[in-house]
Amino acid sequence: MSFCNCSSRFNCTYAAVVASIAVGVITAFLTIMGVIALTPAFLWVTLGVAAVYLAVVLIATAIAHCCHIEHCSALSALLIGILGTVLFSIILLAVTFAATSVIGAIFAGVLLFFLSLTFTATACYVRCLARSRYN
């Protein structure tokens, strides 16, 4: 029984989304309190990480398709995380918010939600690929 499809009782993707929501809320809270700030260098790095992840996911999906490995539900969460990271990185690079702005804090929280969703969904996707490859 594979742990990466919807018929399973425990779905790794749900755990990834819950953990990402927690990271996003904590980030928004710390940003509004002025504890952390998103610098342009960090935003460029997140944009670069998302671009690299997109390329790696495209290659991994092509290899998985050639090897007839089953579709994993974590792939959609991974793509949503990557595209959300790209979108909110570009928005935050284009628009300058005050350090303790509520809207800036919300956007920072959403950016970190998508970035952490990218990382956690990647772990779920690798786990799913490994389980389906060796089962």
Q: What pTM did the predictor assign?
A: 0.84
Please provide the average confidence, as pLDDT, over all residues in the chain: 84
Q: What is the pLDDT of residues 76-123, one digit of tens each?
A: 888 999 999 999 999 999 988 776 788 988 999 999 999 999 999 988
> Residue 4 above 70 pLDDT?
no
Q: Which long-range contacts (CB under 8 A, 24 or more apart) does 22-29 make?
A: 23/112, 23/113, 23/116, 24/109, 24/110, 24/112, 24/113, 24/116, 25/109, 27/108, 27/109, 27/111, 27/112, 27/113, 28/105, 28/106, 28/108, 28/109, 28/110, 29/105, 29/109
CB 31 within 8 A of CB 92: no
Q: Where are the domains of the chain?
A: 12-133
> Residue 5 above 70 pLDDT?
no
pLDDT at res. 2: 43
Tokens for 31, please give them. Answer: 């940003």
